[in-house]
């Protein structure tokens, strides 16, 4: 085992981040692990950051880069809201994030998922991965843990879910990714945004479903290992 | 029609004792003496109309356009000095495309009107610039529906259901 831990490595959020639209709004979800090399710098971080009253962003990649980008965009959106006289739309927020990501692509390393609700377009999710592409999608996944979720979403995603179905889907997905990805862990945080406002939820590790090797074995060959003398199973 | 400034009208940075800036009022006269421009806001759009003034019979029809499009969703009609108008239209086009690049959506008409008005007002603040000698009727269609604004040489802009500027404005308004 490699015991040399580089405690001065840049803080990176291994991360699993998800954004999902449902019939009436969006649900954003994320894990809570921030790592510095192999050391977990923060096991309960909040990766879902507010940009405006109705638009939030999930951050992944370099913690510093994603924080700076969110801070700049929050500042620009604040000014924009004052001039406009009403809340900014999620499309505008996503575009501002995209401009910063694209124009500074050589220096930044951050993948973001913008999700929000506005009165013109309803709930929208925008993915802005590493190079600064902007793509509007019904759902988006990001971070190192997302690799394990592509197949899951292909099968489990459906159009027109209810708020509770969408949130359950997000929690299940983040918890699956946490189970498989070493760089994701901690708790699952969700943010639901719709016409009524914003709701934050928190699912600690013990409230999450168990997967595969975490479950009690049933009729499994593992029974033989635990018994005193290996005998053929009685089925 | 002629008002006597008596020395307070030599510069746009001078107020008269009764609180007027004569240079701006003279600029407005340039607009009043030009061809009529009308704008009407309807339920489903904007209509802009200008009086076609034929300066010479040798002129080709279709030249001397006074209605310009600013962006896919907005346009403006200019009364007064045509060259000044061209400058304002160029500025409006540039503001509209810049907004679209930064914010990713077409510029709201209210925002465009404010920017055009600010630009016109800018030229009333410095002694080395003269005020624009044109009035603008700006129409556009954004998320909140069709809107009509009028910008005067002083830099004021108001929203209207219907507006008219130029020689025939009194007749148009009745």
Complex-level ipTM beyond the 0.90 threshold = no
Q: Could you tell me the CATH number of the domain that includes residue B76?
A: 3.60.20.10
- Name the domain count of chain B: 1
* pLDDT score of A1: 45
Say whether residue A95 is in contact with chain B using an 8 A CB cutoff: yes
Angle, helices B109-122 vs B82-103, to 10°: value is 130
pTM score: 0.84
Question: Given this model, what pLDDT does residue B113 score?
Answer: 96
Question: Does residue B87 fall inside a structural domain?
Answer: yes
Confidence of residue B1 (pLDDT cuts 50, 70, 90): very low
CB contact under 8 A, B103 and A85: no
What pLDDT, on a 0 to 100 scale, did the predictor assign at position A213?
72
CATH class of domain segment(s) A17-227: alpha beta
> Would you place residue B168 in the very low, low, confident or very high pLDDT band (cuts 50, 70, 90)?
confident
Which of A84, A91, A120 faces B104 most closely, judged by CB atoms?
A91
What is d(CA B40, CA B164) in angstroms, rounded to the nearest whole number?
A: 9
Residues B134, B155: Cα–Cα separation, whole Å: 10
Give yes or no for residue A5 having a pLDDT over 60: no
How confident is the model at residue A234, as a pLDDT?
A: 66
Question: If pLDDT is split at 50, 70 and 90, which confidence band does A175 have?
Answer: very high
The residue of chain A nearest to residue B107, with distances taken between CA atoms, is A84
Catalytic residue status for A15: yes
- B63: nearest Cα among B52, B73, B72: B52
Pairwise pLDDT comparison (B62 vs A172), residue with the higher score: A172
Measured distance CA(B78)–CA(B86) in Å, rounded: 9
What is the overall mean pLDDT for chain B? 91
Domain chopping of chain A, boundaries: 17-227
User: pLDDT confidence of B58, banded at 50, 70, 90?
Assistant: confident
Average pLDDT over residues B11-32: 91
Cα→Cα distances B53→B50, B63, B76, B87, Å: 9, 11, 18, 21
Give the residue carrying structure tokens 């620009």.
Answer: A76
pLDDT value at A70 more than 70: yes
Residue A76 has pLDDT above 70, yes or no: yes
How close A112 comes to chain B (CA, Å)? Answer: 17
User: What token pair was written down for A87?
Assistant: 């809340």
| A120 with B143: Cβ contact below 8 A | yes
Give the pLDDT of residue A126.
Answer: 98
Q: Which residues pair with B90 in a beta bridge?
A: none
CB atoms under 10 Å from CB of A198, counted, come to 17
Interval B117-152: pLDDT, tens = 999 999 999 999 999 999 999 999 999 999 999 999
Reported as a single tens digit per residue, the pLDDT across A137-172 is 999 999 999 999 999 999 999 999 999 999 999 999
pLDDT at A26 over 60: yes
Residue B70: inside a domain, yes or no?
Answer: yes
Closest CB to A92: pick one of B105, B110, B114.
B105
């Amino acid at each position: 085992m490699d015991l040399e831990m580089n405690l001065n490595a840049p803080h990176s959020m291994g991360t699993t981040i998800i954004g999902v639209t449902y019939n009436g709004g969006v649900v954003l979800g994320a894990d809570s692990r921030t790592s510095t090399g192999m050391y977990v710098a923060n096991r309960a971080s909040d990766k879902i950051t507010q940009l405006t009253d109705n638009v939030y962003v999930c951050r992944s990649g370099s913690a510093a880069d994603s924080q700076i980008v969110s801070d700049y965009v929050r500042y620009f959106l604040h000014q924009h809201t004052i001039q406009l006289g009403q809340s900014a739309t999620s499309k505008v927020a996503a575009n501002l994030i995209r401009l910063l990501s694209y124009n500074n692509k050589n220096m930044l390393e951050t993948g973001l998922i913008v999700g929000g609700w506005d009165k013109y377009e309803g709930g929208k999710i925008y993915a802005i991965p590493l190079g600064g592409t902007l793509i509007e999608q019904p759902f988006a996944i990001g971070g190192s843990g997302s690799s394990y979720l592509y197949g899951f979403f292909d099968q489990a995603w459906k159009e027109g879910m209810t708020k509770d179905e969408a949130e359950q889907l997000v929690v299940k997905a983040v918890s699956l990714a946490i189970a498989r990805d070493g760089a994701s862990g901690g708790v699952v945080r969700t943010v639901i945004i719709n016409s009524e406002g914003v709701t934050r939820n928190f699912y600690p590790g013990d409230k999450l479903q168990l997967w595969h090797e975490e479950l009690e074995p049933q009729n499994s060959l593992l029974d033989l290992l635990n018994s005193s003398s290996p005998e053929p199973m009685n089925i | 029609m002629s008002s006597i400034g008596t020395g307070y009208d030599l510069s746009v940075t001078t107020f008269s004792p009764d609180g007027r800036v004569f240079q701006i009022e003279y600029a407005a006269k340039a607009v009043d003496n030009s061809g009529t421009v009308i704008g009407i806001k309807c339920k489903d759009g904007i209509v802009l109309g200008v009086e076609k003034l034929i300066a010479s019979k040798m002129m080709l029809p279709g030249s001397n356009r006074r209605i310009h499009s600013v962006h896919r969703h907005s346009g403006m009609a200019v009364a007064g000095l045509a060259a000044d108008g061209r400058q304002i239209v160029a500025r409006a086009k540039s503001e509209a495309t810049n907004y679209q690049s930064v914010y990713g959506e077409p510029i709201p008409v209210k925002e465009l009107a404010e920017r055009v008005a600010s630009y016109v007002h800018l030229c009333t603040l410095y002694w080395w610039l003269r005020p624009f000698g044109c009035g603008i009727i700006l129409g556009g269609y954004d998320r909140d529906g069709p809107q009509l604004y009028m910008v005067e040489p002083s830099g004021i802009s108001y929203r209207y259901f219907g507006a008219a500027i130029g020689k025939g404005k009194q007749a148009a308004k009745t």
